[in-house]
């Protein structure tokens, strides 16, 4: 798992609109979600390639034996068919951009 961190020098200031544009330019359709503290998604898969982008809060993503915590500006690619789980870490909600490959 490789986390992509927001780079203000190349990406500009972090904002929802800027992250959405960046993901859409890669061929993804983007949906915004807010996950309250305590949210947990057990192991599951998707039939499409996805990117989970975080705008606020802390989101633990686990694939196999590897686990990372995504924070504001972080993105993680989740290939189709990859077994993974996710959970909100801490007391702040996670604002997430869920990107699904469309082309």
CA distance 42 to 16: 26
Domain count, the chain: 1
Query: What number is the average pLDDT over the span 19-35?
Result: 96
Number of other residues whose CB lies within 10 A of the CB of residue 31: 11
Confidence (pTM)? 0.93
The confidence score (pLDDT) of residue 25 equals 94
Beta strands in 1-102 (DSSP E): 3-5, 28-35, 40-44, 50-56, 58-63, 66-70, 74-78, 84-89, 94-101
CATH of the domain at 25: 2.60.120.10
Rg for the chain (alpha carbons), in Å? 13
The confidence score (pLDDT) of residue 103 equals 66
Q: Which domain holds residue 49?
A: 3-101
Mean per-residue pLDDT over the chain, rounded: 95
The confidence score (pLDDT) of residue 102 equals 81
């Amino acid at each position: 798992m490789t986390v992509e961190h927001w780079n203000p020098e190349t990406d500009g200031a972090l904002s929802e609109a800027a992250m959405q544009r960046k993901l859409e330019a890669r061929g993804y359709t983007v949906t915004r979600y807010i996950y309250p503290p305590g949210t947990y998604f057990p192991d599951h898969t998707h039939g499409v390639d996805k990117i989970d982008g975080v705008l606020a809060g802390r989101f633990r993503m686990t694939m196999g034996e590897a686990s990372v915590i995504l924070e504001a500006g972080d993105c993680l690619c989740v290939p189709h068919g990859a077994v993974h789980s996710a959970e909100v870490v801490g007391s702040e909600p996670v604002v997430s951009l869920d990107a699904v490959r469309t082309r």
